[in-house]
Amino acid sequence: MKLTQIDAYRWEVPRTGAMQVPGRIYADARMMRETGQEEPLRQVANVACLPGIVEAALAMPDMHWGYGFPIGGVAAFDWDSGVISPGGVGYDINCGVRLATTALNRKDLIPHLETLVNALYRHIPSGVGSTGSVKLNAKEAKKVLQQGSRWAVARGFGEARDLVYTEDGGCLPEADPDLISERALTRGLRQLGTLGAGNHFLEVGFVDRIYDAATATAFGLAEDQVTLMLHSGSRGLGYQVCDDFLALMNRARTEVGVTPPDRQLVCAWTASDLGRRYYRAMSCAANYAWANRQILMHHSRKVFEQVFGTGPRDLAMDLLYDVCHNIAKRETHHVGGRQRVLCVHRKGATRALAPGHMSICEPLRPYGQPILIPGDMGTASFVLAGTQGAMEETFGSTCHGAGRRLSRKAAKRAGKGRSIHRELEDRGILVRWTGRSTMAEEMPEAYKNVSQVVEVVHGAGISKKVARLRPLAVVKG
């Protein structure tokens, strides 16, 4: 595939054939030389063929092959004359990350680390098909789908303050639970408050470097401070919503009149009845995911309090922010000299709004939206902040993590005969896991170098580094 280097951090797939716009890739030269880049680049070109796409089909430095869109893909479509595609959101709708700070420092933590990780593993349900302590009937489940994090807080799972520091207040108001299939609803009845499997995790770490002191202070971060990071999504309910609407859009292809270059990019006009129904059902799954992460954080707070024998005030486990990275949203952006209403798809990509943007909660608005970038469980994670550059180039978007370098199958082959958890323990990181193949599939070598990924978005000016976190204990599904 023809590829043009624009500068040290930007590459372009020129517009050819059926492409409506060019593709733009954020990466450095070393990343572009790595194997496995051809397929996600082809997916970028395919996305650029969809009707109503604006400016460019984008891919972040953590890009890798995904269903339809590449993971790490961003694309915006005109709300009135463009399309919406489940492949541009993904199966795990509103998979996302939340980060909490505490009053503990690293020295406080180390003597209790093993007790803490064991207690978190016992009390935070994880793994394929895991069920939580929150049991719902259909009527109550629909309230979760409509209210999101607000439902959880109203029932004692956390504090009203948590809603302020959650993207969109933890609720998309367009949600319509009546559009959720019985199978999707049933799958969601017993999975609220569960971590899930795959790359989902709970991580206890500490701040080991500050890059921007003023922003770090505003975010409540300080060196050696203990943090809690959670990565989870909408579980089986979100998966089923995606599956249901892929089937509906496939059956309606003739009626829609769009033949995408890849059948995984099946879509509907955003303004059509089918497009609106998908958006409202997706919003339900997004709200479920926010409620899920809210409950997970509440249970984690209680475990910390029990292990350290302290109360909420002394622990001071405060939510820094909750961001999603598998979603489509109705947003207004400045394009071509005018304001346009767009449907922005972010699949494995995070919102990165600039300082002053009204969608950022007021206490953090002057500093830009917090961006949470988890790495692999053996290296580091990062806190970034949104920039004006992201608003001008990427519809206020940036990367979402390190991004896979090896498929799960390849990672299992590479990990055969190794004791990954022992290797991590030798580096001072305690790990607890549920799935038999989890450790091999999620070993550090399966992921790109997160520091390199972050350097690209920082160097390109679409995010700025605020702080680096190091892991000390991880619970995996």
Residue 271 burial (CB count, 10 A): 16
Query: Locate tokens 């082809």: which residue?
Result: 42
Q: In angstroms, rounded to a whole number, what is the distance separating the alpha carbons of residues 95 and 325?
A: 6
Q: In angstroms, rounded to a whole number, what is the distance separating the alpha carbons of residues 157 and 269?
A: 38
DSSP string for residues in 409-471: HHHHHHTTT--HHHHHHHTT-EEE--STTHHHHT-GGGB--HHHHHHHHHHHTSSEEEEEEEE
Task: Say if residues 399 and 60 touch (Cβ distance below 8 Å).
Answer: yes
Beta bridge partners of 74: 58, 346
To the nearest 10°, report the CA torsion of 107, 112, 114, 120: -110
Query: Locate tokens 């909420």: which residue?
Result: 312
Report residue 156 as tokens: 């004692």
51 burial (CB, 10 Å; 0-12 / 13-18 / 19+) is middle
Q: Which residues are catalytic?
A: 400
Beta bridge partners of 225: 105
